[in-house]
Amino acid sequence: MCGIMGYSGPRPPLPLLVSGLERLEYRGYDSSGVAFFNDRGSIDVLRAAGKVSILKERVGLLEGHPGAAIGHIRWATHGAPTVENAHPHRSGPIALVHNGIIENEQALRERLKSEGVHFQSETDTEVLAHLIRREYERTGEFADSVSKALVQVEGSYALAILCQDAPADLIAVRQGPPLILGMGEGESFVASDIPAFLHFTRQVYSFQSGEIGLIRHGEVRIGTLSTPLSSWKSPVARTISWDPFFAEKGSYRHFMEKEIFESSRALMDTLADRIAPGNLLPELLPLAPFPPPSLTFVACGTSWHAALLGRSFMESMGIPSTVEIASEFRYRPLLIPKGSWVIGISQSGETADTLGALELARKEGFRTLGISNVPGSSLERESDLCLLTHAGPEVGVASTKAFHSQVALLMLFSLALSGRNHETHELAALTRSPHRLETFLEAISPERYDQVVERLRHSRLVMFAGRGVDYPLALEGALKFKEITYHPADGYPGGELKHGPIALVEPGVTIVAPMVEIGLRQKEISNLREIRARGGYVLAIGHSIEESQRGIWYDDKIDLPDGPVWSGVFQAASVLQYVSYRVAVALGNDVDQPRNLAKSVTVE
Ligand code: G6P
């Protein structure tokens, strides 16, 4: 986690660094800082505990001298979120920012201390600054000293580094966590994620793990830590299609709200060019064995919930599928059937657990597929084939539109694998789903939700329950709710309530029930009656819920338009996201950057 950014070029760097850090803030918000050249030609560092807005106040009208500069936002791993532990860290002429973890930090720290180095912080990063400085004092060569220092280091890092004696030069290194280069006219950017510089350029190059780059304005040379600078080469950029508007809030109050309402566009863009009857998901064609005997999905968080929905679609098409939490899967014996495909789902494409699970499968000879939203992500590079969802950048920490696009892609995937690539009612439903969702979202009346928000906000406990596809929706509804409202919430299979969770039910407890799965509705209604009989309040979300049943098996309802399950899941997911969003806003919480969370978790 943590976000880093660097710039080299003719603009005054501070305004663009601060706005870039604001766009990276989803990656962490414990502290932030910048290092830049002042008009006297030396490096200044400004740091602040807390969010980028605090740093922004400290920076004020300062612009920094044109040349190289770096910035950081931190999600604390080593050391408390204090100013002392905030990046950039300095040692003599060297200043740097870091995303990752240095595993042999203790040994390096002890060695440096015994050699007389005095430490200012508790961070693992500070050892890097001292190590590079020592090499630089020996060699006087900036790039060379970075390479020499880093070969002593074990762990993961994305770094952006400045040197007092080279005011236009920026060195960027990637060993693990993501690092993207943005190539403009006579200027260059590096950042942990594309939205940081999307306003300036759409020409990007993703650093490979093990690569180092020397960046001087528009000139970039890239090599590896073990190759001499003279052999480093200019990178070949690719143009990405993301619209800079995606990285702005526009007229919305929060990114999360904007992204909820962008879900229909995310569906449309994800399905475009892949949904022609007779030619679904053309990317799959070269793969063998086709279709595979079975699928194993690995993922974390919201992506895991999308995978659970994916399993339902696959099973409905007769394709055996299992779903595993990546952090568990990677430490269990790999006993899946020969020839299976292992599919990692990750919005960011950088989640360490998901990448680790896929690596294990690859080493054991399984074909690996990735489903990611970020072009050039590690998942894209490290899987045999990566299917990109096209939700556009997602900034709010709580995932919304990316979930929709993952689910749409999995629906399409199930049709493609099962050979149902000509007119079926599922394909027809999927084709219409972006438009149906758009119409539904446009009709959302905020006032309609006021009463629901008050009820949920004042509930002692909110439980989410559903059967069939409504079960993953319930899990996702509960995750959204706890992530941003900080109220306890859990999701259950409807039929499981009676085996324990029902003990929690009493007046003041609310059950939210997505009810898209018509085939299981009567069963779910029985479960909900049992809740009401014990004083629980039931909020049902579905279509064709009769008004006459109010007070019998439900207390309040949110109506969805009549339609097939393959459209209903998107509408229900949007309702669940919107409800949590509204409750979190009513509670005055920081919706886009909920406490303790980071959007992309690049540590185990
Ligand atoms: C973090 C985020 C979750 C997200 C999960 C997986 O924990 O807080 O919202 O669902 O990572 O992220 P991924 O990028 O792999 O989908």
Task: Give the DSSP letter string of 384-409.
Answer: SEEEEP------SSS--HHHHHHHHH
Q: Which of 121, 124, 29, 28 is nearest to 83 (CA)?
A: 121
**Residue 232: inside a domain, yes or no?**
yes
Q: How far apart are CA 258 and CA 591, in angstroms?
A: 12
Over range 310-320, report the average pLDDT.
Answer: 95
CA of 378 to the centre of ligand 1 (A): 15
301 pocket-lining for ligand 1 (C-beta < 6 Å): yes
Q: What is the pLDDT of residue 166?
A: 96
544: pLDDT strictly greater than 70: yes
Question: Distance between terminal CA atoms of the chain?
Answer: 11
**Residue 344: inside a domain, yes or no?**
yes
346 pocket-lining for ligand 1 (C-beta < 6 Å): yes
Q: Among residues of the chain, what percentage have pLDDT more than 70?
A: 99
405 pocket-lining for ligand 1 (C-beta < 6 Å): no
CA of 304 to the centre of ligand 1 (A): 9
**Residue 599: inside a domain, yes or no?**
no
The reply to whether 300 belongs to the active site is no
Q: Domain tally for the chain?
A: 3
**Residue 469: inside a domain, yes or no?**
yes
Q: How far apart are CA 314 and CA 307, in angstroms?
A: 10
The reply to whether 599 belongs to the active site is yes
Instruction: Name the catalytic one among 401, 480, 482, 599.
Output: 599
Contact 267, 570 (CB under 8 A): yes
User: DSSP 3-state assignment of 45?
Assistant: strand
Concatenated DSSP letters of 322-389: EEEEHHHHTTS---PPTT-EEEEEESSS--HHHHHHHHHHHHTT-EEEEEESSTT-HHHHHSSEEEEP
121 pocket-lining for ligand 1 (C-beta < 6 Å): no
Token pair belonging to 563: 């339609």
Q: Are residues 392 and 511 in the same domain?
A: no
54 Cβ neighbours under 8 A, 6+ residues apart: 32, 48
CA of 203 to the centre of ligand 1 (A): 26
Instruction: Name the catalytic one among 2, 163, 300, 386.
Output: 2
- pLDDT bin (cut points 50, 70, 90) of residue 279 is confident
Which residue among 27, 75, 300, 325 has the greatest number of ligand 1 atoms within 8 angstroms of its CB, and so is best to mutate? 300
Q: What is the pLDDT of residue 1?
A: 67
pLDDT digits (tens, 9 = 90+) for 89-107: 999 999 999 998 898 999 9
Q: Are residues 104 and 164 in the same domain?
A: yes
Furthest-apart CA atoms within the chain: distance in Å: 83
Q: How far apart are CA 292 and CA 319, in angstroms?
A: 9
Q: Are residues 458 and 514 in the same domain?
A: yes
Contact 168, 186 (CB under 8 A): no
Q: Specify the CATH number for the domain of residue 107.
A: 3.60.20.10
Which residue among 353, 399, 483 has the greatest number of ligand 1 atoms within 8 angstroms of its CB, and so is best to mutate? 399
Q: Are residues 461 and 553 in the same domain?
A: yes
Q: Specify the CATH number for the domain of residue 528.
A: 3.40.50.10490
57: pLDDT strictly greater than 90: yes
414 pocket-lining for ligand 1 (C-beta < 6 Å): no
SS percent in the chain: helix, strand, coil, step 5: 40, 25, 35
Q: Are residues 189 and 255 in the same domain?
A: no
300 pocket-lining for ligand 1 (C-beta < 6 Å): yes
State the pTM of this model. Answer: 0.78
Q: Are residues 460 and 392 in the same domain?
A: no
- pLDDT bin (cut points 50, 70, 90) of residue 365 is very high
User: DSSP 3-state assignment of 18?
Assistant: helix
**Residue 20: inside a domain, yes or no?**
yes
Point out the domain boundary residue: 417, 439, 461. Answer: 439
**Residue 593: inside a domain, yes or no?**
no
Per the prediction, the chain carries an average pLDDT of: 93
pLDDT digits (tens, 9 = 90+) for 520-541: 999 999 999 999 999 999 999 9
Q: Are residues 145 and 191 in the same domain?
A: yes
> Residue 450 sits in which domain range?
446-586
303 pocket-lining for ligand 1 (C-beta < 6 Å): yes
CA of 485 to the centre of ligand 1 (A): 17
Out of 65-69, 200-204, 237-241, 319-323, least confident range: 237-241
Point out the domain boundary residue: 404, 439, 474. Answer: 439
Q: Are residues 178 and 307 in the same domain?
A: no
Q: Are residues 274 and 195 in the same domain?
A: no
- pLDDT bin (cut points 50, 70, 90) of residue 422 is confident
**Residue 597: inside a domain, yes or no?**
no
Q: Are residues 104 and 212 in the same domain?
A: yes
**Residue 467: inside a domain, yes or no?**
yes
Ligand 1 atom showing the smallest separation from residue 399 Cα: 9
Which residue among 599, 602, 603 has the greatest number of ligand 1 atoms within 8 angstroms of its CB, and so is best to mutate? 599
CA of 361 to the centre of ligand 1 (A): 21
Q: Are residues 293 and 428 in the same domain?
A: yes
Concatenated DSSP letters of 171-208: EEEEESS--EEEE-SS-EEEESSGGGTTTT--EEEEPP
- Take atom 4 of ligand 1 and give the residue whose Cα is closest: 301
Measure the CA angle with vertex 127, ends 126 and 129; round to 5°.
65
Point out the domain boundary residue: 388, 422, 439. Answer: 439
397 pocket-lining for ligand 1 (C-beta < 6 Å): yes
378 pocket-lining for ligand 1 (C-beta < 6 Å): no
- Take atom 15 of ligand 1 and give the residue whose Cα is closest: 346
Bridge partner list, 436 = none
600 pocket-lining for ligand 1 (C-beta < 6 Å): yes
Q: Are residues 263 and 358 in the same domain?
A: yes
Which residue among 27, 29, 302 has the greatest number of ligand 1 atoms within 8 angstroms of its CB, and so is best to mutate? 302
- Take atom 5 of ligand 1 and give the residue whose Cα is closest: 301
